[in-house]
């Protein structure tokens, strides 16, 4: 069984069960959602410790390629 979800909800369940009752499957899904809270809380703690938001950092140089670099790129593509 694979269960994916968020802090508040189960988003996806993948399973194959031929001999389980609906109550057993529902219990398994609820148990999985309860257990995933540990991972979700750990992720939230790591995010809180992050010094800056992901994606914000040094800008890359936007220098133009000139000379032999431009020739090599043009020849290749």
pLDDT in tens, 6-49: 999 999 999 988 899 999 999 999 999 999 999 999 999 998 88
**In Å, how far are 56, 57, 63, 66 from 60, measured between CA atoms?**
12, 9, 9, 17
Q: At which residue do the structure tokens 């140089």 appear?
A: 61
pLDDT of 54 higher than 70: no
pLDDT of residue 24: 95
Alpha-carbon distance of 51 to 40, in angstroms, equals 19
Q: What is the pTM of this model?
A: 0.60
Alpha-carbon distance of 60 to 77, in angstroms, equals 23
pLDDT of residue 72: 63
Contact predicate 51/40, CB 8 Å: no
């Amino acid at each position: 069984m694979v269960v994916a979800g968020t802090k508040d909800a189960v988003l996806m369940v993948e399973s194959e069960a031929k001999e389980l009752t609906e109550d057993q499957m529902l219990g398994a899904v609820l148990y999985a959602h309860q257990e995933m809270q540990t991972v979700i809380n750990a992720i939230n703690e790591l995010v809180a410790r992050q010094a800056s938001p992901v994606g914000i950092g040094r800008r890359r140089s936007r220098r133009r390629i000139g000379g032999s670099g431009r020739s090599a790129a043009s020849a290749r593509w």
